[in-house]
């Protein structure tokens, strides 16, 4: 899966898990791009859990905060994880 | 002389090498003896920097060392004003001005002088050992001064009511400044020689289950959304738990039913306020109730006008041994004006008693209770209105798929959602930022120009 595919799947996942509060037009890359979506604690938790299920990864407890708050960095992280685990 | 210091010495002798507080991996665990040593060292650090009886804004983290530092701050004879590390710079600046805090100390022992006069002229700190903040239900959070005696009373009444024992392991997922942690998970644990687990981890179900498997807690203290999130996990990983404690925010029946069905456990709730500490505890046996009064707590109900109808309802008044002494800031009204002639604190909650158990039926004001955190939607509205491109706004709670959701209706011809959220993030704690946005050029209004609240719900299809 290339970066563009991951980005596309991740964007669809965010829209789906946000209970209609986020649409594709809201999703930009850059610092705090995910944090600025204003998702509640529960929606954030649901999203990160859905990412684990969708991409077959597990978040490490020491994952960098930037990865969880920046859409582009999350995609890069997922690409690295998927590449490392074949 | 410090009652809390005496307690730590006593428990260090009594429990010695038993673990008092730890993280899930035990990397920064402190035994009772080590906790006492760490607190003693931290008291010296604080006393070298802060003169006695001066207010200091203290923003603790959530590690075992942070707990030691927090306890040391209470003992140190400085007066720590225990705040929330997620407050924005704007909020911190406001609170420093209101309280006259002479310094800010963060969990990494970063000590910053505020430039406020020393000694502080703002507040009467006589007999005050520490302070906590209200959740800011009407404007900025109010700063409440307490004695150590009140702190220990809150802890003892809680450990008595909840039945915490020396062999319990309490995992607390609330931050240390929060009432849920402060009253249920610090003194109650230390008092009986139990172990406190401060996960300090991201609240992901998979990580939580790992942490639970690693530490085998018997008691979980968490907000409702954690209980909801954990429902997707296999119950076998949670089998060590014997007592589940949630905040005063309501849980949906389906979540409670799930835990009852899978682990046979009720999620216990309680009633408490920053001003008076914990008041009641419900073991879950009476659905919808917040339980019976804790040791030393008394309830009284008086007639009050309901904001939602012409009928009267009952206002809850409480008196406890854990009550604040006074507000220690420059704001009004003062604390005494909230007390009746017998010293009962008049809450803004309405309710009644059923067989001695408290049922809270609503608020007597417009305060929002979101996952246990209370705040005034008008504060959020004022922040929205301070954005140049916004001409008007309505902020309120709405139910979205059964979940209470803070919703903002924005009147603006040009503002983008990302722009307004960024604006809010600079001025509001994260939990006060609306999760649902409707941005329109014009909000529905009556001919007199008043916003028609009952037509806001119909705006979804035309909203940005």
The residue in chain B having the minimum alpha-carbon distance to the alpha carbon of residue A63 is: B202
Residue A58 forms contact with B (CB below 8 Å): yes
What average pLDDT score do residues B347-361 get? 88
How many other C-beta atoms are found inside a 10 Å radius of the C-beta of residue A10? Answer: 21
Residue B185 has pLDDT above 60, yes or no: yes
Pick from A41, A48, A61: which is nearest to B225 by CB?
A41
Report the candidate in A77, A85, A69 with the shortest Cα–Cα distance to residue A14.
A69
Please give the model's pTM, rounded to 2 decimal places. 0.80
Output B405 or B66, whichever has higher pLDDT: B66
Q: What is the pLDDT of residue B448?
A: 60
CA–CA gap between residue B24 and residue B212 (Å, rounded):
8
Distance from CA of A54 to the nearest CA of B (A): 14
Is A32 within 8 Å of B223 when comparing Cβ atoms?
Answer: no
Give chain B's length: 464
Distance from CA of B363 to the nearest CA of A (A): 23
Show residues of chain B in contact with A68, CB under 8 Å: 202
Q: What is the pLDDT of residue B137?
A: 55
Query: Distance from first CA to last CA of chain A, Å, rounded?
Result: 10
CA dihedral for B376, B377, B378, B384, sign (positive or negative): positive
Show residues of chain B in contact with A48, CB under 8 Å: 202, 204
Q: What is the pLDDT of residue B462?
A: 39
Residue B59 has pLDDT above 50, yes or no: yes
Is B425 within 8 Å of A39 when comparing Cβ atoms?
Answer: no
Banded pLDDT at B124 (limits 50, 70, 90): confident
Pick from A40, A46, A61: which is nearest to B207 by CB?
A61
Share of chain B above pLDDT 70, in %: 92
Is B418 within 8 Å of A26 when comparing Cβ atoms?
Answer: yes
Q: What is the pLDDT of residue B255?
A: 84
B97 burial via Cβ count (<10 Å: 0-12, 13-18, 19+): middle
Which residues numbered 13-52 in A keep a CB inside 8 Å of some CB on B? 19, 21, 26, 28, 32, 35-43, 45-46, 48-49, 52
Is A61 within 8 Å of B435 when comparing Cβ atoms?
Answer: no
CA–CA gap between residue B440 and residue B409 (Å, rounded):
8
Two structure tokens written together for B184: 């249920």
* Mean pLDDT, chain B, whole residue set: 86
Q: What is the pLDDT of residue B463?
A: 41
DSSP labels for A25-58? GG---STTTTGGG---HHHHHHHHHHHHHHHT--
Residue B144 has pLDDT above 90, yes or no: yes
Burial A62-71 (b: 16+ CB within 10 A, else e): ebeeebbbbb
CA–CA gap between residue B215 and residue B209 (Å, rounded):
10
What are the pLDDT digits (tens) for B269-313? 889 999 999 999 988 777 778 899 999 999 999 886 655 444 557
Q: Between chain A and chain B, how many beta carbons pairs sit less than 8 Å apart?
A: 65
Report the candidate in B131, B151, B149, B150 with the shortest Cα–Cα distance to residue B141.
B131
Residue B366 has pLDDT above 80, yes or no: no
- Beta-bridge partners for B391: none
Residue B301: CB partners within 8 Å, gap ≥ 6?
B314, B315, B316, B317, B351, B352, B353
Output B81 or B427, whichever has higher pLDDT: B81
Q: What is the pLDDT of residue B3?
A: 95
The residue in chain B having the minimum alpha-carbon distance to the alpha carbon of residue A42 is: B225
Residue B86 has pLDDT above 50, yes or no: yes
Residue B461 has pLDDT above 60, yes or no: no
CA–CA gap between residue B68 and residue B108 (Å, rounded):
12
Residue with tokens 């903002």: B408
What one-character DSSP code corresponds to residue B460? G
Is A59 within 8 Å of B207 when comparing Cβ atoms?
Answer: yes
**Helices and strands in chain A, H and E counts:** 4, 0
Choose from A12-21, B129-138, B317-326, B362-371 the range with maximum mean pLDDT: B317-326
Report the candidate in A39, A33, A14 with the shortest Cα–Cα distance to residue A24.
A14
Pick from B204, B422, B425: which is nearest to A45 by CB?
B204
ipTM of the complex: 0.72
Distance from CA of A51 to the nearest CA of B (A): 11
Is A38 within 8 Å of B206 when comparing Cβ atoms?
Answer: no
Share of chain A above pLDDT 70, in %: 93
Residue A15 has pLDDT above 60, yes or no: yes
Q: Are A47 and A18 in contact (CB under 8 A)?
A: yes
What are the pLDDT digits (tens) for B204-233? 777 888 889 889 999 999 888 788 888 878
Considering only B54-58, B90-94, B124-128, B440-444, which range has the smallest mean pLDDT? B440-444
User: Which residue stretches of B30-176 are H helix?
Assistant: 32-47, 64-75, 89-99, 148-162
Pick from B205, B371, B421: which is nearest to A38 by CB?
B421
Residue B216: CB partners within 8 Å, gap ≥ 6?
B169, B240
Is A59 within 8 Å of B371 when comparing Cβ atoms?
Answer: no
Is B202 within 8 Å of A49 when comparing Cβ atoms?
Answer: no
CA B13 to chain centre: 32
Query: Using alpha carbons only, how large is chain B's radius of gyration in Å?
Result: 22
Q: What is the pLDDT of residue B105?
A: 94
Residue B336 has pLDDT above 50, yes or no: yes
What average pLDDT score do residues B129-137 get? 84
Q: What is the pLDDT of residue A75?
A: 94
Show residues of chain A in contact with B424, CB under 8 Å: 38
Banded pLDDT at B81 (limits 50, 70, 90): very high
What are the pLDDT digits (tens) for A50-78? 898 889 888 887 788 888 888 999 999 99
CA B394 to chain centre: 25
What are the pLDDT digits (tens) for A27-55? 888 887 887 777 777 778 888 888 988 89
Q: What is the pLDDT of residue B306?
A: 55
Is A21 within 8 Å of B425 when comparing Cβ atoms?
Answer: no
What average pLDDT score do residues B455-462 get? 61
Q: How far is CA B460 from CA A21, B251, B456, in A?
A: 11, 27, 8
Show residues of chain B in contact with A41, CB under 8 Å: 203, 223, 225, 371, 431
Is A52 within 8 Å of B204 when comparing Cβ atoms?
Answer: yes
Tell me whether strands B357-363 and B345-354 are parallel, antiparallel or unpaired: antiparallel
Query: Using alpha carbons only, how large is chain A's radius of gyration in Å?
Result: 12
Residue with tokens 């004879």: B77
Report the candidate in B159, B183, B185, B161 with the shortest Cα–Cα distance to residue B171.
B185
Q: What is the pLDDT of residue B88?
A: 81
Residue B330 has pLDDT above 80, yes or no: yes
What average pLDDT score do residues B226-245 get? 87
What are the pLDDT digits (tens) for B250-273? 677 778 889 999 999 999 988 999
Is B418 within 8 Å of A36 when comparing Cβ atoms?
Answer: yes
Burial B115-153 (b: 16+ CB within 10 A, else e): ebeeebebbebeebbbbbbbbbbbebbbbbbbbbebbbb
How many other C-beta atoms are found inside a 10 Å radius of the C-beta of residue B264? Answer: 9
CA B67 to chain centre: 16
Residue A9 has pLDDT above 70, yes or no: yes
What are the pLDDT digits (tens) for B395-405? 888 877 767 78
């Amino acid at each position: 899966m290339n970066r563009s595919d991951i980005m596309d799947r991740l964007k669809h996942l965010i829209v789906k898990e946000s209970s209609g509060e986020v649409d594709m037009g809201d999703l930009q890359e850059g610092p705090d791009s995910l944090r600025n979506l204003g998702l509640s604690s529960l929606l954030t938790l649901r999203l990160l859990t859905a990412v684990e299920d969708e991409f077959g990864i597990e978040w490490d407890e020491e994952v960098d905060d930037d990865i969880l708050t920046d859409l582009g960095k999350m995609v890069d992280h997922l690409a690295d994880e998927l590449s490392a685990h074949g | 002389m410090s009652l809390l210091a005496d307690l730590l010495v006593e428990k260090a002798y009594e429990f010695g090498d038993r673990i008092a507080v730890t993280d899930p991996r035990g990397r920064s665990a402190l035994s009772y003896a080590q906790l006492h040593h760490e607190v003693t060292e931290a008291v010296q650090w604080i006393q070298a920097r802060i003169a006695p009886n001066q207010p200091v804004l203290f923003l603790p983290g959530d590690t075992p060392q942070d707990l030691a530092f927090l306890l040391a701050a209470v003992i140190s004879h400085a007066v720590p004003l225990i705040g929330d590390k997620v407050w924005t710079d704007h909020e911190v600046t406001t609170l420093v001005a209101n309280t006259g805090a002479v310094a800010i100390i963060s969990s990494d022992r970063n000590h910053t002088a505020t430039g406020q006069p020393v000694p502080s002229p703002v507040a009467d700190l006589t007999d005050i050992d520490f302070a906590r903040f209200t959740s800011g239900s009407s404007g900025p959070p109010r700063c409440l001064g307490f004695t150590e005696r009140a702190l220990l009373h809150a802890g003892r009444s809680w450990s008595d009511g909840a039945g915490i024992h020396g062999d319990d392991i309490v995992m607390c997922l609330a931050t240390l400044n929060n009432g849920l942690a402060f009253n249920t998970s610090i003194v109650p644990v230390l008092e009986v020689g139990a172990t406190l687990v401060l996960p300090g981890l991201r609240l992901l179900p998979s990580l939580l289950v790992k942490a639970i498997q690693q530490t085998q807690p018997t008691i979980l203290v968490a907000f409702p959304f954690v209980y909801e999130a954990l429902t997707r996990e296999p119950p076998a990983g949670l089998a060590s738990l014997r007592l589940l404690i949630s905040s005063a925010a309501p849980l949906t029946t389906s979540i409670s039913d799930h835990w009852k069905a899978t682990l046979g456990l009720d999620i216990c709730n309680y009633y408490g306020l920053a001003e008076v500490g914990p008041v009641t505890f419900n073991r879950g046996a009476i659905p919808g109730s917040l339980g019976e009064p804790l040791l030393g707590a008394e309830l009284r109900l008086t007639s009050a006008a309901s904001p939602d109808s012409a009928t009267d309802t009952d206002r809850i008044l409480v008196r406890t041994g854990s009550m604040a002494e006074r507000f220690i800031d420059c704001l009004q009204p003062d604390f005494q004006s909230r007390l009746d002639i017998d010293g009962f604190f008049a809450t803004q909650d309405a309710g009644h008693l059923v067989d001695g158990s408290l049922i809270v039926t609503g608020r007597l004001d417009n305060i929002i209770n979101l996952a246990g955190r209370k705040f005034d939607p008008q504060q959020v509205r004022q922040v929205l209105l301070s954005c140049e491109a916004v001409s008007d706004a309505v902020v309120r709670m709405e139910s979205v798929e059964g979940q209470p959701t803070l919703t903002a209706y924005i009147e603006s011809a040009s503002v983008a959602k990302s722009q307004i959220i960024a604006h809010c993030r600079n001025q509001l704690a994260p939990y006060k930022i609306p999760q649902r946005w409707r941005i329109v050029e014009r909000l529905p209004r009556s001919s007199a120009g008043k916003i028609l609240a009952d037509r806001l719900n119909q705006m979804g299809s035309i909203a940005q």
